[in-house]
Amino acid sequence: MLAARNAAHFGAPAASYETWEYADSAATALDQLDVWLAGVRGLGDAGLRVPVGAKDAFPEMPMADLVLHIHRELIHHLSEVCLLRDLYLHTKPGTSRERLMTAKTTHLDPEELHHNPAFTQGVITPAARMLHVGGQLGTDSAGNLLDGIEAQTAQAMRNVLTVLAAAGTGPEHVAKLNIYLVNGVDAQVGYAASRSVWGNHRTAITVVSTAGHARPGALVEIDAVAIIPE
């Protein structure tokens, strides 16, 4: 329609609303819009000052004013399209949550660095809502601290998983784990205990040795950053 209204500006054959061939697909419509935009860019200052001519709802106006008007209309209608798309995805019969959960992390393991099966050297996250899991200790649901590094690490990992699940995400969507171990504990025992709960979900991991934690008797604390897939 835009090209039909302003064909004279582009040296194109005369067209009308009745004879213009409307796009039969979104891709074709975008191609037509590209042609129109290319024509507008080629007008220059003088061309943009030429009145378009009164017709229907359009008043007599310079092409530059019409371009601004069309821009506002495009933004308005594109926002409506986005809303309809989201509504369609959430109401279409047979659409499952798994279908909507499209956001995924990407592991980065440069060849120049050592490859470790337990963790990845980096994680690329897509644009998505993020969950920051606060430091979890090896405490049960009553707040009682378990005994020993093995029991505390396994429980701390279970607590991290609980927070992830409450947010609608899981270990496969975790971008970073930070593990804080008190000096003197057997780190290998802690690693084995965390792996038994966490499984084979590789992610970026930082392990820090600390003098102690705020809660007396706590031997390990674990926090995490994860994406929440939509």
Question: pLDDT (tens digit, 9 = 90+) per residue, 148-186?
Answer: 999 999 999 999 999 999 999 999 999 999 999 999 999
Model pLDDT for residues 41-66, shown as the tens digit of each residue:
666 666 666 655 544 444 555 666 66
Look at domain 106-228 and name its CATH class: alpha beta
The stretches of the chain forming alpha helices (DSSP H) are 2-5, 26-41, 44-48, 63-91, 97-100, 148-166, 187-198
Domain definitions of the chain by residue range: 2-95, 106-228
Burial class (CB in 10 A: 0-12, 13-18, 19+), 195: middle
Instruction: Give the global pTM.
Output: 0.55
Could you tell me the sign of the dihedral formed by the alpha carbons of 188, 193, 196, 198, in that order? negative
pLDDT in tens, 113-140: 888 777 888 888 888 889 999 999 999 9
